[in-house]
Structure 1
Amino acid sequence: MRNFLWNKNLFLFLLPIILSAQVKKMDLTRLPYDELKELFIKNDKNKKKQLEYVNAFLAKAKNDNSPIYKARGFYLLSLLYKGDKAIQYLDYSISFSKNTNDLKFPAYAYSRKAYELKSQSRYREAIDNFILAENSARINNIDFYFDAKFSIALLRSEELGEVEEALVLYKECFNYYKNKEIRTPEYSFVYHDIIFALADAHKALKQADSSTYYNKLGYQEAIITKDESYQYLFILNEGANHVLKKNYRVALDSIYKALPKMIAFKNQGNTIASYYYLGKAHEGLGNTQAAVQNFRKVDSIYKIAKQIIPEFMGGYSFLIQYYKTKGDKENQLKYINTYMTIDSTLQKNYKILTKKLKKEYDTPNLLQEKATLIESLQEEKNLSYTAIGILIVLIVATGGFGFYQHQLKKQYRFRFEEIMQQTTEIVKFKTQDIQVIESDYSSKRYESIGISEEVVQQILEKLQLFENQRAFLDATITIQKVATTLNTNSKYLSKIINEYKGKSFVQYINDFRIEYAIIQLKNDPKLRNYTIQALALEFGFNNAESFSTAFYKKNEIKPTYFIKELALIKNA
């Protein structure tokens, strides 16, 4: 249940808006960059004028051969477009601003590109760009670094259903911003946003007391800063929280207070949330007709907006069962169809949907019920066989996906238990006696790689020292660099690692890093609170993707799963 409408990087970039002079077209390129930008902003209702100013901005940057002003110009140009066109101009902005050490770029361009990708449901690519924005801002723009981190958390929580992972990031952002001047215009809105995210995440995880704590804190801050929109958002969120606590009458009081404001603010997402939780509260009180009325309003808004999140899917289960009891086959089928249509869309983006579907509407029973229902309606209205086929395929696909997820979960658990049984410290670890190693190397092996026995033994001994010193944690490591350290050449080193370690140099280094990571994660609870990006840097990788890929290749499970299961064991 979210309504994060802010895009702070855009707000910060476009903040200074003051200008009044009229300027002749022929003189535009003679104006300072700041003036051109202000003219662009002032004419936000006139795209034609804005194009004139931004084209002059870019022409001036080209004449000055200034990469950073070219980057800023293409960023401004991207604001006039949506989708692929905007992404194209943002890519230009990123290209020109790389290596400029600018405070805002390319971080702002990466972030805006991520939002455009998110709007196209390209969620994984969006996360990649938010991470790039975060990394770009890490050194010289710490506020924007946490803005990007917060955007990553929102995407993980709202679009991918990874609430637990997002909660860790929300807490990092909260701990950073709480030390700022949180009641000033610069920081109050983002602080409210983060508190709301924490409250909402705890509610999603059914941690009602923690959710209440943050709802109260957020409400108090919103009162102090006179932020009416967030005052009522926190009232609404606490009302929803009371539904989970089964305090239905208290919940109704809060939600009825908030609903008119959600409508007045044209906050469509939280208007849906208001009707959904009104429905759940009335359902809890046994007010069936009121519950039906509110769940139908959720459906009506969905039909217009074509957007809904898994949190609000339970209303469809209620409506399907209600019309089944009433013997109203038409409405029963109508809401089953809507449910399945939403399901087929959300399965692409929400990993939690399978769990929710199995919990709220058992697939095998649904299949049998639909088959019977369709047969009955076919006799009455001669429903097309094509429609029946589509419905059955959707259900079978849903069941198949659920079975696949179940098997995958079993496989992950088995691999996790295998890893936990490996109690020997492997990185500290691999300290075999050199004489034992020697006995295993026949003269034929030396001959097969064309390197003398003496050289092989020298390099193997140095490799042993390299391993024991954990030099593999150096993120800049290359085979040439290691060869120089070992006083040999990269060709010899590659052959020896291939022959005696049984793997390529890259795999050899990555395996050591992952083995070391497992030991450290087992032994150091603090590391389990790190982001995947932070863990990647900790263990010698350049980014989260390369760390996750190497971890999965080595262990056949994702690092996020390993950390989550490890935490459950340690907390048991």
Structure 2
Amino acid sequence: MNKFKTSIKVFFFAFFSISVYSQQLEIDTLKNKSFKELRNIFYKSFNNNKNEVASSIARYTLESAKTKKDSVNIINAYIRLSRVNENIEILGIKYIDSSIYVSKRSLNEELLAESYYFKGKLYENLNKYNLALNYYFKSSSTYNKINDFDSYYMIQDMIGQLKLRVKDTISALKIMKKGADYQRENMLKKGDNTEYIISLHSLSIAYSSNNLIDSSSQINKEGYNLAKNNEYINELIFTHLEGGNEYAKKNYNASKDSLIKSLVYLTKEDVYNLSYAYFYLGKIYSLNDNKEQAVYYFKKVDSIFEDVNFIMTKPRDAYDELIDYYKNKNDLESQLYYTNRLLKVDSILDKEYKGLITKFHENHSSRLLEENAKDKSKYLTRTYLAIFLAVALLLIILKTVYNKKNNEKRYLEIIEFLKTEKNYLQSKDDIKNNKSIKNKSNDLDISESIIENILAQLEVFEKSERYLKPISNIRDFSKEIDTNYRYLSKVINHYKSKNFQKYVNDLRVNYVIKRLQKDEKIRKYKIRAIAEEVGFTNTESFTKAFKELTGLNVSFYVKKLNNVSS
């Protein structure tokens, strides 16, 4: 069961025929492997995006299990084949249906529940939400039947989140209530309130989605008080939710205070909910007739969309506000710019919620573009444009000078660090966190032997430079080192003072700043190539992680190193 609990959202893999098998993997290397070893080899390949190898191992496992008439490993092999072929719907469904069939024939209800779960996940990734819900229900029902209530409520929470996503808020609220009740009982039994706090956060959102604002506020108060004494959850997540509630109550000053307080947490940890905070702050300033400050926050929403290429439905309305603002200002250029941005946002939302959005936003369509073209003569004169450009240029120059000075200082600090024998460069935030770290391992509610084992595995992970290869997420990595992902998360947060993704990214950045200094060849690579060289899957995440740790842009650091070398 623990194997399933550490499962994650699957990635897309291509299908390769059996003829590829001999090219990817010598069958003799697998003959003497146990099924457990085959599972570990599969997930190492799967997590490193080695599609062909992973598929070959799963096929070999299936044939071997069939020969031995081992139904458990036949089912697991079918599940793995479904996962690596998920982007080809017909194959993904074929393999997961086979795992369901064998599970039923062998009366293995635990693996049947797991198979239902993965079929639901497959449909969710294909945006077929009704089918996804159907199989999540089957999975949770089966877990309930075999009295695996931890898994049951885990699936129920996923059902609730999906129902909120498709606006079935009443059903979602019922689910979240039951989940919170169950986690409350667990808290009283085990003494750990983390899961209960998380369930309160979901329940608060469900209440507010049903316009039960007072109930949501009551939950926020309870969650906030519990989270203040919890090591892993920041109480400001409830402050943020309460800011939205106060807005709904039209207590705009109280809403603004809560939202601004929550920015400290959201800016670092949750850019998606950060967009909500910025949107509501913009609306509040707009209601107070402070249009310039409102536009400042609406543009912040756009900057988040620019960074992550994702936006929630409500903050999307920031673009309507920006378009109207610039229309009233007779600023054609800005109006057209945000109209085009809106079209891009709506195309993404339409793709994400295809078949579910009941009202597609078309307030600013081609009609608006035509009107803007007709009114072109009304826009800024050359004089105003010249003044605007002059002021903008001055601000750019001042910002450039300031940034250059800070960058030079930070670069020298990094060079000095590289001269020392220290292993890892730390950001200012990391240094602060390390000073406040709790050293008592019993605070984690994990046995000493498990903690020591995880720390030993992390030491091997660092020394072997395993982090230079792609790692999908903490759940898959926990499988790789054969431990529980919750324990792994707690240990990393406690001993490394950061979450798993930042821990991995910081290791990669530390490696690359040293290698760039020593290796002139890699300095000639494009940034994308450097990112891939050290395990990042895209340029954006690499440059962001590098900036967060070093305070510098990658291009600036490379340029400085090249100047010194020449």
TM-score category of the 2 structures, normalised to the smaller one = 0.5 to 0.7
Which residue does 2:5 correspond to in 1?
A: 11
Give the letter for the 1:65 counterpart: K
Whole-Å separation in 2 of the counterparts to 1:39 and 1:28? 10
- Aligned: 1:106 with 2:108: no
Which residue does 1:272 correspond to in 2?
A: 275
Which residue does 2:97 correspond to in 1?
A: 91
Give the letter for the 2:178 counterpart: E
CA-CA distance at 1:112 after TM superposition: 2.6
Alignment of 1:44-123 (within 5 A): 45-48=47-50, 54-80=58-84, 82-84=86-88, 86-123=92-129
The answer to whether the 8 A contact 2:82-2:95 is kept is yes
Greater RCO, 1 or 2 (C-alpha within 8 Å, sep 6+): 2
Partner secondary structure for residue 220 of structure 2: helix
Alignment of 1:215-234 (within 5 A): 215-228=220-233, 230-234=234-238
The answer to whether the 8 A contact 2:278-2:297 is kept is yes
Which residue does 1:34 correspond to in 2?
A: 36
The answer to whether the 8 A contact 2:330-2:378 is kept is no
The answer to whether the 8 A contact 2:256-2:281 is kept is yes
Whole-Å separation in 2 of the counterparts to 1:180 and 1:103? 24
> Structure 1 379/83 Cα, relative in aligned 2: closer, same or farther at 3 Å?
farther
Which residue does 1:261 correspond to in 2?
A: 265
Alignment of 1:131-530 (within 5 A): 131-140=137-146, 141-158=148-165, 160-181=166-187, 190-228=195-233, 230-265=234-269, 267-340=270-343, 342-343=345-346, 346=349, 349=353, 372-377=371-376
Structure 2: tracts of 5 or more residues without a match: 9-25, 380-566
> Structure 1 104/258 Cα, relative in aligned 2: closer, same or farther at 3 Å?
farther
Partner secondary structure for residue 271 of structure 1: helix
Whole-Å separation in 1 of the counterparts to 2:31 and 2:187? 39
So what's the TM-score if we normalise by structure 2? 0.54
Deviation sequence 1:71-99 (CA, Å, 0-9, x none): 11232344446533655543332232234
Deviation sequence 1:120-172 (CA, Å, 0-9, x none): 322222222222323332311333333323222211211x2222232122223
Aligned residues: 356
The answer to whether the 8 A contact 1:62-1:70 is kept is yes
**Match of residue 132, structure 2, among 106, 126, 132:** 126
The answer to whether the 8 A contact 2:117-2:139 is kept is yes
> Structure 1 60/220 Cα, relative in aligned 2: closer, same or farther at 3 Å?
farther
The answer to whether the 8 A contact 2:310-2:348 is kept is no
Whole-Å separation in 1 of the counterparts to 2:173 and 2:212? 12
> Structure 1 350/237 Cα, relative in aligned 2: closer, same or farther at 3 Å?
farther
Whole-Å separation in 1 of the counterparts to 2:169 and 2:374? 41
> Structure 1 97/353 Cα, relative in aligned 2: closer, same or farther at 3 Å?
closer
The answer to whether the 8 A contact 2:86-2:122 is kept is yes
CA-CA distance at 1:342 after TM superposition: 4.2
CA-CA distance at 1:326 after TM superposition: 0.8
Whole-Å separation in 1 of the counterparts to 2:372 and 2:321? 17
- The 10-residue stretch of structure 1 (323-332 or 367-376) with the greater mean CA deviation from structure 2: 367-376
The answer to whether the 8 A contact 2:62-2:74 is kept is yes
Identity rate, percent: 25
> Structure 1 52/342 Cα, relative in aligned 2: closer, same or farther at 3 Å?
closer
Deviation sequence 1:37-62 (CA, Å, 0-9, x none): 34545666545575565455334312
The answer to whether the 8 A contact 1:114-1:129 is kept is yes
The answer to whether the 8 A contact 1:9-1:108 is kept is no
Whole-Å separation in 2 of the counterparts to 1:144 and 1:344? 36
> Structure 1 157/182 Cα, relative in aligned 2: closer, same or farther at 3 Å?
farther
Partner secondary structure for residue 375 of structure 2: helix
> Structure 1 338/245 Cα, relative in aligned 2: closer, same or farther at 3 Å?
same
> Structure 1 41/253 Cα, relative in aligned 2: closer, same or farther at 3 Å?
farther
CA-CA distance at 1:105 after TM superposition: 1.8
Structure 1: tracts of 5 or more residues without a match: 1-6, 15-23, 381-572
Give the letter for the 2:225 counterpart: Q
The answer to whether the 8 A contact 1:127-1:152 is kept is yes
Partner secondary structure for residue 314 of structure 2: helix
CA-CA distance at 1:181 after TM superposition: 3.7
> Structure 1 133/342 Cα, relative in aligned 2: closer, same or farther at 3 Å?
same
Whole-Å separation in 1 of the counterparts to 2:337 and 2:189? 49
Deviation sequence 1:371-397 (CA, Å, 0-9, x none): 5334335999xxxxxxxxxxxxxxxxx
Give the letter for the 1:146 counterpart: Y
Whole-Å separation in 2 of the counterparts to 1:320 and 1:71? 55
Whole-Å separation in 2 of the counterparts to 1:188 and 1:279? 35
RMSD between aligned alpha carbons? Answer: 3.9
Which residue does 2:19 correspond to in 1?
A: none
- The 10-residue stretch of structure 1 (342-351 or 142-151) with the greater mean CA deviation from structure 2: 342-351
Whole-Å separation in 2 of the counterparts to 1:46 and 1:38? 12
Partner secondary structure for residue 161 of structure 1: coil
Whole-Å separation in 2 of the counterparts to 1:121 and 1:312? 21
Whole-Å separation in 2 of the counterparts to 1:350 and 1:56? 38
> Structure 1 52/339 Cα, relative in aligned 2: closer, same or farther at 3 Å?
closer
Whole-Å separation in 2 of the counterparts to 1:256 and 1:165? 32
CA-CA distance at 1:286 after TM superposition: 3.6
CA-CA distance at 1:107 after TM superposition: 1.9
Whole-Å separation in 2 of the counterparts to 1:263 and 1:202? 25
Whole-Å separation in 2 of the counterparts to 1:356 and 1:43? 42
Whole-Å separation in 1 of the counterparts to 2:347 and 2:85? 30
> Structure 1 227/308 Cα, relative in aligned 2: closer, same or farther at 3 Å?
same
